[in-house]
């Protein structure tokens, strides 16, 4: 239980104050925050709330969209927005800003991938000065078009390795990488660059590209095996349970958190 972190998206019905209080109540010591939920209460109040309840922030989600387009295809200055995200992460006392790098711009996949590498180069010094690590999160290839041209850990590592390990790392999210025939080799290669480990199962049958996720234990992912891989690579930080699932989102926060804790204990924790 010491390493369990509630990724806030799993209790989407809860506001930030509710989620922080809920974690304290349930004995969950870590939380993964989303910037929109932080913005609802304001950064200063969020910091005070976390302090009052003694909850630590495992990561802030998310910067990115470095290819210059939102999932809806609107133009966006992802670098400027990610700088703000770095500042917010530093204020919230987490050293990890998760980056969702953005989908294909101008129908040009190769150029979009190059834009991401270039933008990480622009952000790295800014992050380093503020003690924040950039967590490149490869997303499932089904999100390549509109959310992330980074599709594999190997690809994320190719970019991260251009920078110091204490500045640019990767986030291992089971939902996004479980299918990858090279996932174990890539985790071993990542070593100290692993800045986050997110657990989740694909929903069976697999229907909705965004919401077809389920709590650990509901699908084919071998969570203890992947956990052993990231630990063998050297990661000893918090483990976020991050689940996009319509049913879970319609569940009251305290019950959703109970399910999160239960799934973690049963399928992820080392007995």
Q: Is residue 88 near a second copy by the rule CB under 8 A? A: no
Q: Is 9 helix (H, G, I), strand (E, B) or coil?
A: helix
214: which strand partners? 201
DSSP state of 62: E
Interface with a second copy in residues 25-54 (CB under 8 A)? none
Task: Tell me: does residue 151 bind a second copy (CB under 8 A).
Answer: yes
Q: What gap in Å lies between CA 265 and CA 247, rounded to an integer? A: 21
CB atoms within 10 A of CB 142: 15
The only residue of 154, 172, 215, 263 in contact with a second copy, by rule CB under 8 A: 154
Q: Which of 7, 143, 186, 251 binds a second copy (CB under 8 A)?
A: 143
Q: First and final CA of the chain: distance in angstroms?
A: 11
User: Of 218-257, which residues contact a second copy (CB under 8 A)?
Assistant: 219-220, 222
Q: CB-wise, 107 or 236, nearer to a second copy? A: 107
Degrees to nearest 5, angle at CA 157 with 232 and 96:
75
From the list 29-37, 43-51, 212-220, 251-259, the region that binds a second copy by CB under 8 A is 212-220
Q: Does the footprint of a second copy cover residue 205 (CB under 8 A)?
A: yes
Encoding tokens for residue 159? 């970019």
| Interface with a second copy (CB under 8 A) | 71, 73, 104, 107-109, 113, 140-146, 151-152, 154-155, 178-181, 202, 204-209, 212, 219-220, 222
């Amino acid at each position: 239980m010491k390493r369990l972190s509630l990724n806030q998206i799993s209790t989407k019905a809860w506001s930030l104050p509710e989620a922080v209080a809920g974690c304290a109540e349930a004995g969950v010591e870590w939380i993964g925050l989303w910037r929109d939920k932080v913005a609802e209460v304001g950064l200063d109040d969020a910091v005070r709330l976390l302090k009052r309840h003694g909850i630590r922030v495992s990561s802030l989600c998310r910067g990115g969209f470095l290819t210059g387009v939102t999932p809806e295809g609107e133009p966006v200055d992802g670098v400027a927005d990610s700088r703000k995200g770095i500042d917010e992460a530093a204020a919230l006392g987490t050293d990890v800003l998760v980056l969702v790098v953005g989908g294909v711009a101008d129908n040009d996949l190769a150029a979009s991938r190059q834009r991401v590498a270039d933008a990480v180069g622009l952000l790295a010094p800014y992050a380093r000065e503020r003690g924040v690590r950039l967590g490149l999160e490869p997303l499932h290839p089904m999100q390549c078009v509109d959310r992330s041209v980074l599709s594999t850990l190997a690809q994320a590592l190719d970019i991260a390795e251009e920078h110091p390990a204490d500045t640019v790392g990767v986030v291992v999210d089971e939902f996004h990488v479980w299918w990858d025939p090279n996932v174990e080799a890539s985790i071993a290669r990542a070593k100290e660059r692993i800045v986050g480990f997110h657990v989740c199962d694909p929903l069976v049958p697999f229907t909705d590209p965004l919401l077809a996720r389920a709590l650990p234990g509901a699908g084919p992912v071998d969570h203890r095996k992947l956990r052993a891989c990231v630990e063998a690579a050297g990661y000893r930080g918090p483990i976020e349970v991050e689940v996009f699932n319509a049913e879970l989102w319609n569940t009251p926060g305290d019950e959703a958190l109970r399910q999160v804790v239960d799934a973690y204990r049963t399928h992820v924790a080392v007995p």
